[in-house]
Structure 1
């Protein structure tokens, strides 16, 4: 068990990941766990660590970013006596609900949770469950950036109107990204890039291209 959250955060930072928050769980909310440490990235500090890991692999790895994240988080969990939980584990854990509880985050008009500092350039890669309470951080009281954004640039910038109906039209977006007229959308989400919040945390083009390729299955 870490002495405090700073100790856990330092261990994760060695691989470019961040301790996003620690959430207290009610008894029985998720098995026997009493606290969950949410782990992810803020900006793309993780990228060169991930790339170095990829370069060391002697065989092709399916879902490499998820595999790398699990390995890194598992090493830290073993060190501190916790249990790893990943977003794609079954049954699916409520990562977004935990994030909203911890950070006061809310969804953006294009779906992902938006952070007042990092904008849309952050993610939750996994978590560590603890059976005992560790130092719980107070929930942040964030102003929801989208609530004060009159331009709605993200929605308006999508070239195929995938967000016009208030719900993400996944099929329309995917068909465009995979199609012959994808243009920039082949390598990045134009709607995500149009958001004016946190531009200094925006992923570099090559990182965005990696994620877009995974999204489209290309």
Structure 2
């Protein structure tokens, strides 16, 4: 069988509104199977991801996003003769943040959240494919280079900035009427990123995740 190409993988991902966020070589690493050569990180492809997901059988149940991700990415991994890994389901958890940095296509932003070249601070990793094939991606330009970095000062209460994340302060603000905009439209820090503003993620999707984050806190 011919080695998996990026074009073929993208064709398999397109019907599920997923895209390749980045990849790295994992050959001979003991934390992966001996046959593994590449780890590919996957995330939502916009526009269209949220309406597609809401039309799936998992919607309406508990944790529909995670259950859908497990079914779709798990099946794709099996079809490709690989394995799937997910950023949920722990502890223990797989080191997705470190994996993302290894791809050279996601970076630590000035506020320490991951930032992507086309998705900005709205980037979301739904899972990873551990593949038998080598898959190389061309390196993109880092989006933070030359940026005015409005993300650093965007949080109205300074809960998220260059110093890190004060989760308690964030939840306290979301409990106030002034926090309604963050709950309904998504985190202002993520929205402040110029790259995020060009990414077609629906406010409804951001509101869903913010609501779950706040309830869990």
TM category, shorter: 0.7 to 0.9
Relative to structure 1, the CA distance from residue 73 to residue 104 in structure 2 (aligned partners, 3 Å threshold; closer, same or farther) is: closer
- SS of residue paired to 1:140: coil
Relative to structure 1, the CA distance from residue 22 to residue 165 in structure 2 (aligned partners, 3 Å threshold; closer, same or farther) is: closer
Q: Which residue of 1 aligns with 2:123?
A: 122
Check the 8 A contact 1:42/1:121 in 2, yes or no: no
Q: Which residue of 2 aligns with 1:22?
A: 23
Relative to structure 1, the CA distance from residue 71 to residue 202 in structure 2 (aligned partners, 3 Å threshold; closer, same or farther) is: same
Relative to structure 1, the CA distance from residue 164 to residue 37 in structure 2 (aligned partners, 3 Å threshold; closer, same or farther) is: closer
**Bigger Cα displacement from structure 2, 7-16 vs 172-181:** 172-181
Structure 2 unmatched runs, 5+: none
Confirm or deny that 1:168 pairs with 2:171. Answer: no
Q: Which residue of 2 aligns with 1:135?
A: 134
User: Could you state the TM-score of these two structures normalised by the residue count of structure 2?
Assistant: 0.85
Q: Which residue of 1 aligns with 2:38?
A: 35
Confirm or deny that 1:113 pairs with 2:110. Answer: no
Match of 1:191 among 189, 192, 207: 189
Confirm or deny that 1:46 pairs with 2:18. Answer: no
CA distance in 2, matches of 1:101, 1:28: 13
User: Could you state the TM-score of these two structures normalised by the residue count of structure 1?
Assistant: 0.84
Runs of 4 or more, structure 1, over 4 Å off, are none
Check the 8 A contact 1:109/1:166 in 2, yes or no: no
CA distance in 2, matches of 1:43, 1:16: 7
